[in-house]
Homo-oligomer: A and B are copies of this chain.
Amino acid sequence: MAIADKIVGMMERSSWIRKMFENGAKLKQQHGADKVFDFSIGNPNVPPPKEFFDALEETVKLEEPNKHGYMPNAGYPAVRKEVADYVSREQGVELGVEHVIMTAGAGGAVNVALKTIMNPGDTVITSTPFFVEYQFYADNHGGSLKLVPTKEDFDLDVAAIEAAIDATTCALIINSPNNPTGRVYPESTVRDLAAMLEEKSREIGRTIYIVSDEPYRKIVYEGVKVPSLLKNYKHTMASASYSKELSIPGERIGWLIIGPEADDAENLAAGAVLCNRIIGFVNAPALMQRVVGRLQGKQVDVEIYKRKRDALYEGLTKIGYELYKPEGTFYLFPKAPGGNDIRAVEALTDELVLTVPGKGFGSPGYFRISYCVEDRVIEGSMGGFERAFKKLQE
């Protein structure tokens, strides 16, 4: 056997996703790309803001020695200062340079956070539906993921999470705004969660961390504010990415912030810097660090996403689909008409509308629509959504 047994298993399990993509590509070839309505992937289609291109051009022009060389593994102190100052203002916390580690996106940051705290056999709790990569991330560091369903409205079920905690629990991954539901967890939920975790940490005699994965924090509508885990729970490590807010996911740039009041915060930060290095990242990409350092608070035009959300939400609701109207992200997570998500996704695929079954997010019975697509894709898909809906009622 050439490949590690575990990787073989992972490849088999993720092969249905590959098949889906292959199938999508085949359909596009057969029918023409403009006849296929592809809502399957979350690749931001709103262009980066003008400020990004300006900052990139200016940064490229800067003349200084060692500009593309190594810097401290945590990132350029000046960039980390920009991030610390901005997030301090944004979330009402007091961060210093020493609490910020620049990372290869939020995916990098979550892995660094987990590696820093996980002992073999530890479990990490997350709520379903969930971003399926978390399962790999927990496994990467010798532990596993425990899944707890959210409530009917996709809000966290704090009592269910409490019941799932045991002596192996080292952390919760909280993802708000959530992929795939678009749900922003309200302040009251966050407070209840924090109080419960304080209590349970005492009870089990170990600190339960929150790894707050926030790549969609800026992709919210109608002035919604995303409640801060960093502010509400001191044992929080927050991860973020410029992938969605600046539409630059290919560049792999984000950060990890260590809660300044966390027990042993200094060591926790030092451990995270070590882990950032030894996982193989070494440091976040140099040029993009400097670029995003200049772009604190800048973001894509979310009104474009909002119009797409509204068009789809209204269109689908009218047809009869049941779905939560999300506060953020660029995802919708409707109930599968008829209840079977695989069947629903197949029926939609027959109409050349590509979506992802909820099974892939730990929530069968739903399906995900990623609406970072051109408006014409939304308009063109409505007939297919309607025909599939009718078929699934039969």
Could you list which residues of chain A lie within 8 angstroms of chain B, going by C-beta atoms?
Answer: 1-8, 10-11, 14, 41, 43-45, 47-48, 56-57, 60, 65-66, 68-71, 104-105, 107-108, 110-112, 115-119, 133, 136-137, 140-142, 206-207, 246-253, 262-264, 267-268, 270-271, 274-275, 277-288
List the B residue with the shortest CB-CB distance to A142: B142
Measured CB to CB, the closest approach of chain B to A66, in angstroms, equals 7
Q: Indicate if the CB atoms of A119 and B280 lie closer than 8 Å.
A: no
With A136-B278, A278-B136 in contact, do A251 and B107 touch (Cβ < 8 Å)?
no
List the B residue with the shortest CB-CB distance to A141: B4
With A2-B264, A45-B66, A287-B287 in contact, do A11 and B137 touch (Cβ < 8 Å)?
no
The residue among A115, A275, A279 with the most chain B CB atoms within 10 A of its own CB is A279
Q: What are 22 pairs between A and B in contact, CB < 8 Å?
A: A1-B206, A2-B117, A2-B263, A3-B116, A3-B271, A4-B115, A4-B119, A10-B274, A48-B68, A68-B247, A68-B249, A104-B280, A108-B281, A133-B277, A140-B280, A142-B142, A250-B283, A252-B285, A252-B286, A285-B285, A285-B288, A287-B288
Q: Hey, which chain B residues are within 8 Å of A56, CB to CB?
A: 60
List the B residue with the shortest CB-CB distance to A71: B250
With A70-B249, A70-B250 in contact, do A107 and B280 touch (Cβ < 8 Å)?
yes
The number of times this chain is found in the oligomer is 2
Q: Indicate if the CB atoms of A282 and B105 lie closer than 8 Å.
A: yes
With A68-B250, A69-B249, A104-B252 in contact, do A2 and B267 touch (Cβ < 8 Å)?
yes
11 more A-B residue pairs beyond the given contacts A71-B250, A279-B280, with a C-beta to C-beta distance below 8 A: A1-B206, A2-B117, A2-B267, A4-B117, A11-B270, A43-B69, A56-B60, A104-B104, A107-B280, A107-B282, A248-B286
Q: Indicate if the CB atoms of B2 and A104 lie closer than 8 Å.
A: no
Q: Hey, which chain B residues are within 8 Å of A112, CB to CB?
A: 280
Instruction: Please measure, in the bound complex, the distance between the C-alpha atom of A69 and the C-alpha atom of B251, giving whole angstroms.
Output: 7
Measured CB to CB, the closest approach of chain B to A3, in angstroms, equals 4
Measured CB to CB, the closest approach of chain B to A72, in angstroms, equals 10
Instruction: Please measure, in the bound complex, the distance between the C-alpha atom of A332 and the C-alpha atom of B65, giving whole angstroms.
Output: 24
Q: Hey, which chain B residues are within 8 Å of A41, CB to CB?
A: 70
A248 touches which of B68, B108, B142, B270 (Cβ 8 Å) = B68
Instruction: Please measure, in the bound complex, the distance between the C-alpha atom of A283 and the C-alpha atom of B249, giving whole angstroms.
Output: 9
Instruction: Please measure, in the bound complex, the distance between the C-alpha atom of A86 and the C-alpha atom of B388, giving whole angstroms.
Output: 49
List the B residue with the shortest CB-CB distance to A117: B4
Q: Hey, which chain B residues are within 8 Å of A111, CB to CB?
A: 279-280
Q: Indicate if the CB atoms of B11 and A278 lie closer than 8 Å.
A: no
Q: Hey, which chain B residues are within 8 Å of A280, CB to CB?
A: 104-105, 107-108, 110-112, 137, 140, 279, 281
With A14-B274, A133-B278, A280-B108 in contact, do A285 and B250 touch (Cβ < 8 Å)?
yes
With A107-B282, A280-B104 in contact, do A271 and B7 touch (Cβ < 8 Å)?
yes
